[in-house]
Structure 1
Amino acid sequence: MDLALSADDLAFRDEVRAWIAENFDEDTRRWLAQSKNGYLDKAGQVSWQKKLAAKGWAAPDWPVEWGGAGFTASQRYIFTAEMGLAGTPRPSPMGLNMVAPVILAFGTEEQKRQHLPPILSSDIWWCQGYSEPGSGSDLASLQMKAVRDGDDYVLNGSKIWTTQAQWADWMFCLVRTSTEGKPQSGISFVLLRMDTPGVTVKSLPTLDGPVDGQQEINQVFFEDVRVPVSNRIGEENKGWTYAKYLLEFERGNAFAPSLKSVLKKVRRIASVELDGSGEAMISDPAFRRKLAALEIEVAALDATELRIFSAMSGGEPVGPASSMLKCAGSEVQQAITELTLEAVGVYGQPFVQDGWAHLRGDSNEPLPGPDYAAPAAPTYFNYRKASIYAGSNEIQRNIMAKLVLGL
């Protein structure tokens, strides 16, 4: 990919910057700054995604005929970089970036017409039904049964770590339709409404605190839940193929642009916060070395992502490179949250579970330090998940060893 921006690319970059300046308003910035997970509440997320949809930028990677942006490879990179550098909200990935590509690649025309338009407009919210209790990162060991009964499947079992299930209208779900042969060969991929009788959602508490609007994960129980066979994606017992395809999109996201933005914030914090000797943290050689090392890692990750996404624009699948991006990106992400906590110093010790309470006017007590310090500890704890979700990084290294190194 030619890294020099053409006149058209520069004009597009200016257009993106102007759009961000107009739409990423101060109120949204304040709420996002107090988020522990990089997302707004559902109303805020939907509002932001509808702005993107109105501009035609909600689904940069979709085909144009289904509402995609029609970006060139350089425009896609510019768009991602500018959004990341500005620190804008990340669109919820479940619908736009995960199930939609599977529907586009393997769904029927009827399924595309039914699901893609409301995903694009964020009128329908999705969650992912992959993990199960006891399965860990061994997704193929899932046991939730789907027994064929006429034109329906009858589902019994549960899914766990189900992000935003409490908000979801639909779930894309892996179910076991056969116990014969290898575990991978008996899995099917189905879509189901969350208001179907027999579906129960229970929230799961996490270390970062059960904050209203930021509560993330749940366990979902299924008791004799009937799902039409017509809601199955592709062939019965071929769901493992579709699941792996989806995971390429879940793992193969661009990390570097947003990480650059967060590192700049860490540098600003360290320039004003003092160490034990009364000097600015940034003057401490040990702290500067850690910050510089992370900046180098992010620069290397940025170059790698650019190379991979450029190849994808030429029609190549992301393939096992998605595992490399997931490992490198999530581990740098975690390291940055650690350095942020170090930079805020003693202000990170009072654990502020709900920084949004002050924005809502629910709390009369001042934050115990600068605004930027309040989410530091919750964010640190929240991002312990990053090296586990979408397949633990240990599993990702096994994938790379097998498919890239041939070991």
Structure 2
Amino acid sequence: MDLSESADDEAFRAEIRGWLEEHLTGEWAALRGLGGPGKDHEAIEERLAWNRHLAAHGWTGIGWPEEHGGRGLSLWQQVIFHEEYARADAPARVNHLGEELLGPTLMAFGTPEQQQRFLPRILAVEELWAQGYSEPGAGSDLANVQTKARLDGDQWVLDGQKVWTSNAHFSQWLFVLARSEPGSERHHGLSFLLVPIDQEGVEVRPIEQLTGGSEFNEVFLTGARTPADHVVGEPGDGWRVAMALLGFERGVSVLGQVVGFARELRTVVDLATSNGAIQDAVLRDRLAGLRAELEVMRWQALRGLSGDGADGAAGPSVFKLVWASWHQRLGEVAMDVRGLDGLVAAGAPYVLDDLQRLFLFSRADTIYGGSDEVQRTILAERVLGLPREPKGTAQR
């Protein structure tokens, strides 16, 4: 595995670093560090404007093929972009679900008409997307989806409820996994549909979180409609499309995630140094362990992206297990460094600082995006070759 950078890669790193230094100034400077997990409620309109500024300068869809409007950059150059973006503390982008998940899915499974209709608007950040997967009874057990979809003439009609739907309150579209074949069970009879949110049959209710924000939502579909040709792939083949999309979820952006983790760790170490907590030998050892694990995590992620790691779903599953546990432990160490002060809100009525928000939001890391139990099941069955769990007990 050769992870050295070529002269072209080094030039590209200098290019994106210079561009960010030049543009994250003036009106944009105040956006540094805003958004992201537990903070997606921050400066939505301003971050949307920034995201469109990126698009206008060719910094969206950088890995998309040129025939779909992207830049067709190499995998390593995409890694460089995400690392430099994170190092610059640039604001979290609001277009992640459309650009990183739905876009590649449409390229792989969509019709030419769907690609022409949706891809340019995703690239230009003109339309934002939310993910309609989880339901009250189908979170990690996604194959238990009960939202119904039926054809009525030239339209699909949907009835059901989705939950933990990130950013649905400011998105225009929802990609939905729904049961379109009556009587079907588990992975069979599901369809992947593209549904407009701004219609009478869609109600979005924000869910207030411990962090004080409401980036997650409940979405109620009551006779919601979408054109018949807004099904991606064949009707009834939605599971295959949905799983492919989840494969795109853990791509090159994970390297930017690691850079963000490193910044959070530095913040905790700096606080421990300034308030004297670093003198505690046990706490100092925990911080050193987190630093070493983070470095291993980065190299393992690079190994997986290079194709030199575990095959199929194994690489992403291992990485999700590792970073979720690591991030939770960082939040716990952060609170130990804060001491009793960490139990008091930074301001009234409920203003949290970054470390308090880190601790509270990281409690969900081992659940969202595929719970630890699901990741271990994937590894057991697909890597170790263990028998599948009996029907009715597996959490898939």
Q: TM-score, structure 1 length as denominator?
A: 0.86
Q: Give the SS at the match of 1:387.
A: coil
Write the letter of the residue equivalent to 2:38.
N
Paired with 1:161 and 1:353, the residues of 2 have a C-alpha distance of 27
Q: Partner letter of residue 87 of structure 2?
A: L
Contact 1:53–1:120, Cα closer than 8 Å, also in 2? yes
Q: For the residues of structure 1 that align with 2:55 and 2:348, how far apart are their CA atoms?
A: 30
Q: For residues 218 and 401 of structure 1, what CA distance do their matches in structure 2 show?
A: 32
2:105 and 2:244 in contact (8 A); partners too: yes
Q: Which residue of 1 aligns with 2:389?
A: none
Q: What value does the CA root-mean-square deviation take over the aligned residues? A: 2.5
Shift of 1:354: 8.3
Aligned mates of 1:5, 1:354 — CA distance in 2: 49
Matched with 2:169 is: 166
Letter in 2 for 1:324: V
Q: 2:178–2:191: 8 Å Cα contact kept in structure 1?
A: yes
CA displacement at 1:27 relative to structure 2: 6.5
CA contact (8 A) 1:154 1:225 kept: yes
Q: What are the ranges of 5 or more consecutive residues in structure 1 without an aligned counterpart?
A: 275-279, 358-366, 368-372
> Which residue in 2 is equivalent to 1:24?
24
Q: 1:151 to 1:78 in 2, by over 3 A?
A: same
Structure 2 match to 1:364:
none
Contact 1:125 1:170 in 2 (8 A): yes
The structural deviation recorded for 1:226 is 1.9
1:363 maps to what in 2?
A: none
- Equivalent positions of 1:7-156 (< 5 A) are 7-25=7-25, 31-33=31-33, 37-39=38-40, 40-92=42-94, 93-156=96-159
Distance 1:331 1:88 in 2: 25
Identify if the C-alpha distance between structure 1 residues 382 and 354 changes in structure 2 by more than 3 Å, giving closer, same or farther. farther
Partner deviation per Cα, 1:120-162 (whole Å, 9 max, x = no partner): 1111111110011122311011111111212112111111111
Distance (whole Å) between structure 2 residues aligned to residue 352 and residue 230 of structure 1: 51
**Mean Cα deviation higher: 230-239 or 194-203:** 194-203
SS in 1 for 2:229: helix
Distance 2:324 2:29 in 1: 23
Shift of 1:344: 3.0
Q: Distance in 1 between matches of 2:362 and 2:297?
A: 19
Maintained 8 Å contact 2:87/2:260: yes
Which fold has the larger relative contact order, with Cα–Cα distance below 8 Å and residues 6 or more apart in sequence?
A: 1
Q: Which of 299-308 and 76-85 deviates more?
A: 76-85
Change (3 A) 1:318 1:302: farther
Worse-matched range after superposition: 215-224 or 326-335: 326-335
Greater shift after overlay, 76-85 or 92-101? Answer: 76-85
Q: Which residue of 2 aligns with 1:233?
A: 232
Q: Is the 8 A contact 2:132 2:175 kept in 1?
A: yes
Specify the code of the residue in structure 1 equivalent to 2:140.
Answer: S
* 2:251 maps to 1:257: no
Match of 1:370 in 2: none
Q: Report how far residue 32 of structure 1 moved.
A: 5.0
Q: Does 1:203 align with 2:182?
A: no
Deviations 1:73-118 (A, max 9, x none): 3322222222223332332321111111111100011111111111
Give the C-alpha shift of residue 67 in structure 1: 2.7
CA change 1:259–1:387 in 2 (3 A) is same
Bigger shift: residues 104-113 or 379-388: 379-388
Matching of residue 3 in structure 1 with residue 3 in structure 2 = yes
The offset of 1:304, in angstroms, is 1.0
Partner of 1:220: 219
1:382 aligns with 2:361: yes
Give, in whole Å, the separation in 1 of the partners of 2:31 and 2:339: 23
What is the deviation of 1:223?
Answer: 1.1
How many residue pairs get aligned? The number is 380
C-alpha displacement of 1:394:
0.9
Deviation at 1:321, TM superposition (A): 1.7
Q: Give aligned-pair identity as a percent.
A: 35
Asked if the contact 1:352/1:375 (under 8 Å) is kept, the reply is: no
Amino acid at match of 1:142: V
108-117 vs 7-16, which moves further: 7-16
Q: Check whether the contact 2:191–2:235 (CA below 8 A) recurs between aligned residues.
A: yes
5+ residue gaps, structure 2, are: 387-396
| Contact residue 61 and residue 69 of structure 2 kept, 8 A | yes
Equivalent residue number for residue 370 of structure 2: 391
